Amino acid sequence: MSIPFPVFYTLLGNLYCIVAFYYFQKIYPIRTNKIIYYGYLFIANSLVAYITSTLIYPLQMVVVFIFTFASTMIFFKSSIQRKLFASSIVLFILLSSQGITNSLYCILNDMPFNVLFSDIVPDGNYVATINIILSTVFFLVIIIVFPRKKIYQAMENKYILNFLSAILFLYVIFMTLASFIYYVESTNIVIPIYHFALTSMLFISYTILFFYYVSLDSTSKLMKKTERLETQLATQKNHYDQNMDYIKELRKIKHDYMDLLHSLEYAFIDYSKEELKNMIDELLAKTRQIDEEYVQFSNNPLVDSIILDASKICKQQGIKFHALIRIAEDSLFDEDDICFTFATLLNVSIAISSLPSDVPNEIQLYNKIQTSWVIVTCEIFTSASPALIEDKMQESEFNQIIKMVQTLNGFVQTDNKENSYQIKLCMPKKEK
């Protein structure tokens, strides 16, 4: 495809590249700051635009794919499969927009494809420009229709990622091979019509598949979230019931305290010193019992109820339990994610503590709030084998916590020490 190198075409190519990579950096964390990120994209894509303008089609698409994949390898902190998927999406949209635009142009002007890619067509640059604009519009539609959180969650589902990646790869190969039809020297108008129908069908069918599976994953996530909220509601109800019992006991204490004051008022008349001492000792015992039963583990009521529920399970199973958590006001996690994190962390800790061990089982949960980071530490004292511990970790929803933390540019550390297993969640705070 012999296209000169006009400035406006290069700028439009940069616009498409930046729109695409803007969306990707919202989904996947990047390794560097945004100034370097976008500066590289602008300079490198200008060079790619110049190189592709000197190449025939579809070698242009090969260069675009290599550039896109190399850029994802340089900047994105994600798996190779996700990087390949992102690169394939960029190429797929380009192939689709070019197939649709080129076919329509030839159909409307009653000309064969091979004439379009020759120098005798004055509108060649115009058609190429429309291709880039249409590609950018397609990507903007994706940004509007699919929020980044939904896309990220869907791409974390291995089944959906594998299926959509396989279909996308086949589509890209098929559309690339189909583009050789541009060089067929035939004036038959059926060929552009056929190519337009084929490209449109492939683009629409993949869009429907993509939308369906992302929506399906969102529905599945919503159902799981609903289950978590129901569990959380039950935990809060237990917490509320305990607080109500605490209030009732305090009212009893108040009543007994008033009785004691009245008794002291008439002490020298109606009671002996021994009887007064017994009354005071009984009141003190009730007060101490109330203090022993009421324990506050966190400054957040929801997290406190989750930890309290876990402490009761530990008490039933004979596991020593200590916890002190202070939730930072400038945490990047929303309240639902915070509750899910601590519930999952405690569930997996209790599961590990239930494994056969030669040392007394104990769980310690605490956190440190630093200037830029919140570090949550959970230490489980056990002599269980690392293999059994790893099995328990895999059976739980702990991997979801890892993904949530990594989404916020945080990280998770696990350390299998002698007679203990330590989990650390390191999460950045909001920038002030």
- Alpha-helical segments (H) within 317-428: 335-353, 386-395, 398-407
**Weakest mean pLDDT among 119-123, 224-228, 396-400, 417-421:** 119-123
Q: What is the structure's pLDDT at 254? A: 66
**Weakest mean pLDDT among 113-122, 240-249, 319-328, 345-354:** 113-122
- Is residue 76 within 8 A of residue 83, CB to CB? The reply is yes
pLDDT at residue 428 above 60? yes
Q: Which CATH architecture has domain 301-428?
A: 2-Layer Sandwich (3.30)
Looking only at the bridges linking them, the beta strands covering 362-369 and 320-324 are parallel
Domains of the chain by residue range: 7-227, 239-293, 301-428
d(CA 386, CA 378): 16
- The residue whose two tokens read 């639902």 is 336
E strands, 153-291, are: none
26-40, 125-139, 359-373: range with highest mean pLDDT: 359-373
Q: What string of DSSP letters covers 28-74?
A: S-BSS-HHHHHHHHHHHHHHHHHHHHTS-TTHHHHHHHHHHHHHHHH
C-alpha distances out from residue 217 to 111, 153, 226, 398, 400, Å = 45, 8, 14, 19, 14
Q: What is the structure's pLDDT at 13? A: 80
Mean pLDDT of 272-293: 66
- Which comes out higher in pLDDT, residue 293 or 26? 26
Q: What is the pLDDT of residues 253-276, one digit of tens each?
A: 666 666 665 666 565 556 566 766
d(CA 423, CA 415): 7
Mean pLDDT of 325-348: 83
Q: What is the structure's pLDDT at 365? A: 92
Mean pLDDT of 116-141: 70
pLDDT > 70 in the chain, percent: 77
Reported confidence tier of residue 379, pLDDT bands at 50, 70, 90: very high
pTM for the model: 0.58
Write out the two tokens for 245: 């019992």
pLDDT at residue 69 above 60? yes
Q: What is the structure's pLDDT at 2? A: 42
Cis check: omega of the bond before 428, within 30 degrees of 0 = no
- Is residue 189 within 8 A of residue 110, CB to CB? The reply is yes
